[in-house]
Amino acid sequence: MEFQARRDRAIELLEQSGIECSSYAPPLMRLLWRCGVQVRPPHFMGFAAAALLSGSWFAAGWGLVMWVGFWSRHDTEMHSALISACGAGLFFGLSMAGHYAHQRRKHDLPSWESLAQPASALSR
C-alpha cells in the first residue's frame, strides 16, 4: 500500500478515536504533506522521530522569535541563544513525543506497519 493510502487510513483511525485534528494533523504536518514529504502522522511515528521533528521546529521558531523580540536587544551572545533554543526544543520535543505515545496507547492505535493490511484485518 502506498504512503498516501496508509496515511489516509491512519487519519481515519485518529478521527474515529476522538483525538483532536490539531493534534494528529498539526500545521507543520499539513505543510509537509502538501509539499510532498512522506512523513507519518505524529501518533504513528517512533518516539525519537516525533521528538526530533517536534523539537527541531519548536527550537527554530522559538529561537527566532526570542532573538528578534528579546535576545538581540539585550546583547545576548549567539551561543547562549542557541543553547537556550536547543534546550527549549529538547524539552518541547520530548514532551510532545510523550504526549503522542500516551495517546497512541490510550486509544489502542495499531502500528504504522499494520496499516498496510486491509481495514478489515485491523483489530479494533
**pLDDT tens for residues 2-61?**
899 999 999 999 999 999 999 999 998 999 999 999 999 999 999 999 999 999 999 999
Judge whether 122 lies within some domain. no
Q: Is residue 41 part of a domain?
A: yes
With beta carbons less than 8 A apart as the criterion, state whether 93 and 52 touch.
Answer: yes
**pTM of the entire structure?**
0.85
Residues 6+ positions from 45 with CB-CB distance below 8 Å: 39, 53, 97, 100
Q: How far apart are CA 48 and CA 63, in angstroms?
A: 21
Structural domain contains residue 94: yes
Residue 121 lies in a domain: no
Number of domains in the chain: 1
**What are the Cα distances from residue 58, in Å, to 9, 10, 69, 94, 124?**
27, 24, 16, 11, 34
What range does the domain containing 95 cover? 3-116
